[in-house]
Amino acid sequence: MTNKKNLPPMIQIWHMKLAARIDYNRTAVIPDFNPDFYEHVASLEYEVVKQTAAEMATGCALSASYQMTNSIESHWSNNYGVWGDSGARSTSTGDIIKMPDGQRFLVDDFGFKLF
């Protein structure tokens, strides 16, 4: 088993839980970031994300993280550099991307915003 101290820097993906998503869809109010409303579903190796971002037109690590946690040709949990829950849905509006430096970004209708 790998010791956490030996892990590379990771980007965390947090999905809004179903009950919070139902309220969000009804009220458009974003819930607080806590385990009652969000669950950690994946971690992405930061170096792989940076490499993927460099290959994309945007060059954006947030866009690369979003793409890497969406099922395009196969389930996103099979993507290189992704450690995740194979039963989880793709990342979507209302979910959180947490960068290695601790900054959190909300997946918004069009892009991302600091959360």
Q: What is the pLDDT along the chain (115 residues), one digit of tens a residue?
A: 344 567 789 999 999 988 777 777 777 777 788 888 899 999 999 999 999 999 987 779 999 999 999 998 899 999 999 999 888 999 998 899 999 999 999 998 889 999 8
What's the order of all strands across the beta sheet hosting 111-114? 82-84, 38-45, 10-16, 96-98, 104-108, 111-114
The range of the structural domain enclosing residue 39 comes to 11-114
With respect to residue 2, please indicate whether it lies within any of the assigned structural domains: no
With respect to residue 3, please indicate whether it lies within any of the assigned structural domains: no
With respect to residue 110, please indicate whether it lies within any of the assigned structural domains: yes
Phi, psi of 84 (to 5 degrees): -155, 175
Number of independent structural domains in the chain:
1
Confidence (pLDDT) at 4: 55
With respect to residue 102, please indicate whether it lies within any of the assigned structural domains: yes
With respect to residue 1, please indicate whether it lies within any of the assigned structural domains: no
Cβ burial of 9 (10 Å; 0-12, 13-18, 19+) is middle
Contacts of 97 (CB under 8 A, 6+ apart): 11, 12, 13, 14, 62, 65, 66, 91, 104, 105, 107, 112
Confidence (pLDDT) at 5: 63
With respect to residue 82, please indicate whether it lies within any of the assigned structural domains: yes
Confidence (pLDDT) at 23: 77
With respect to residue 25, please indicate whether it lies within any of the assigned structural domains: yes
With respect to residue 44, please indicate whether it lies within any of the assigned structural domains: yes
Confidence (pLDDT) at 69: 96
**Model-wide pTM > 0.75:** yes
